[in-house]
Amino acid sequence: MVKVTLKGGVVREYEAGTSCADIAKSIGAGLYKSACAARIDGEACDLRTPVEKDCELEICTFEDADGKHAYWHTAAHVMAQAIQHLYPSAQFGIGPALADGWYYDIGGTEPFTPDQFEAIEAEMKKIIKADIPVEKRFITVEEGREIFRDQKYKLELLEEYAEKGWQLSVYQQGDFTDLCAGPHLMSTGSLKAVKLLSTASAYWRGDAERDSLCRVYGIAFPKASELEAYLNMLEEAKKRDHRKLGKELELFALMEEGPGFPFFLPKGMIVKNTLIDYWREIHHRAGYQEISTPIMLNRSLWERSGHWDHYKNNMYTTVIDDTDFAIKPMNCPGGIMVYKTKPRSYRDLPLRMGELGIVHRHELSGALHGLMRVRCFTQDDAHIFMTPDQIKDEIVGVVRLIDEVYSLFGFEYHIELSTMPEDHMGAIEDWEMATNALRAAMEELGRPYEINEGDGAFYGPKLDFHLVDAIGRTWQCGTIQLDFQLPERFEIEYTGEDGQKHRPVMIHRVVFGSIERFIGILIEHFAGAFPVWLAPEQVRVIPISEAHRAYANQIAKELDGAGVRVSSDCRSEKMGYKIREAQLQKVPYMLVVGAQEMENGTVSVRARKEEKGGVKTVAEFKEQILAEIVSRER
């Protein structure tokens, strides 16, 4: 018998070798029916997995991340099986589950188009209806070579995994077999509502010198209603696409002459500069000093920081006077050099230095996406140098600052603690100390957080802040990274109260992350209708006829003098046309003026929020909008 600790600490005994599925069935028919996968001592596995020893067991439904992963991974295999039936010459690359759905990279055929989706979905539904068992087995290299003798991409992966000494496994459902570690659902019939979404080109293994494959994306849910809600969300997302709105609202441009290097237009610069002004205001209040460091520094600095060894493929490099240089992908080494410009004492710490630094990173062209993934961006960095006993208070302060910013825009968010990756610098003891310090700060704040194993930066663990936007999508923006490594590598120090030299601890942190990306997120979050304080044009004055133009210009001049971003539309167009155009440009306030308004010294306010409209005196409206701007009301 084995003792199995279930959710809530309940302990039950089972015969050794009892499957996770049978344990789920013993708990309840409803749980068994909705189960997708399991976790034994925290490690995800199939429901078919036998329990051989005392353990903690969690049954994962679709509501659980590992449950979704198994559900979508199985759907990816079903899609590949359907494609194999319809296109026998297809060559299969990889087909992982994603945060939302899955994709599969496919070669050996002409690229698929949405016109072919209906036939593939129909074949998927046949496979689902057949309720084919999904079974795992372990294989030898020789068996794998035979199974995948006609699949060149699978053979390449097989040989690579074998060379690394990994245990090889396949999943089989009927006539389809895939090289895979799982986990998966028990059978194809566990899938319900499926939908293929789109295609894209993808280089095999992300290498532009290798084959170009067709990447097919899909999504699946246990209920048709959930699929319908998701597809409605996608439609809403299309309407909010920042690339489309950025062009329509004249905020930024993307040009072939600079792929991944966005051009900000005058209206976009207003949004960007307004965000920067806000950033400077809150950082000044929080005790940060602003610095600026060079955009290009020589190789010796990047070797010392570790970037040359760990990040060189993402850096732009050049040679000047026979010396290697790199354009900075991160601001931190420059911040350290500023710290070293003079001796520091414990009395100087914590030292908080902020930088709006322009950084460049070499992203693959296929990964570029509007403002969300670019090659050049402004990072709202800050580096905090402190004594070990100041760590917790500084982390708490940064979390509160980030919370203030995200709350201003109406974002909900969750926090992940990312731990030591395989490719890391420094001693494990330092990593444990840093990770424990982040954990202790979060527990002191009473904030819930999730553990993201192995996803820390190469120099330290971090807290990542994931925003949830107006339609439920998640974005990773803010981060707090605790670093014991760079202070050591750069040999920075301070004189302690004991008169001895000590090594400070360093925090790397961003709030917006990339300002460009944050603007893209804001465009989609607000569907281009920015809050008044952030809107590039806050007021448009619209005269009813030519006779009222002077009055319109007078009002615009008065508001402009008070610091309001305002224009007057005195074109010889119909008033309805002007109003419609202002609405399309997402202008928060329109002031319509005619004979009655001229006579009474008033304006007819058409507001995005109806309760703020109506007939008002110019003074009343000015007081209203200035209060809204100062308070940064949403």
- Point out the residues that are catalytic: 332, 361, 379, 381, 383, 462, 508
Which of these, 348, 391, 342, lies nearest to 497 by C-alpha position?
A: 348
Q: Which helix (H) or strand (E) holds 362?
A: none
Asked if residues 275 and 534 have their Cβ atoms less than 8 Å apart, the reply is yes
d(CA 80, CA 318): 44
d(CA 97, CA 76): 7
What Cα–Cα distance (Å) separates residue 390 from each residue in 238, 384, 436, 465, 541?
46, 10, 14, 22, 53
Which of these, 486, 610, 579, 586, lies nearest to 246 by C-alpha position?
A: 586
Amino acid in the structure at residue 151: Q
Amino acid in the structure at residue 523: I
d(CA 337, CA 328): 14
Asked if residues 383 and 318 have their Cβ atoms less than 8 Å apart, the reply is no
Locus of tokens 């396949």: 170
d(CA 245, CA 236): 13
Asked if residues 519 and 267 have their Cβ atoms less than 8 Å apart, the reply is no
**If you write DSSP's letter for every residue of 110-167 in order, what string do you get?**
PPP-GGGHHHHHHHHHHHHHTT-B-EEEE--HHHHHHHTTT-HHHHHHHHHHHHTTPP
Secondary-structure percent of the chain, ordered helix, strand, coil, rounded to 5: 40, 30, 30
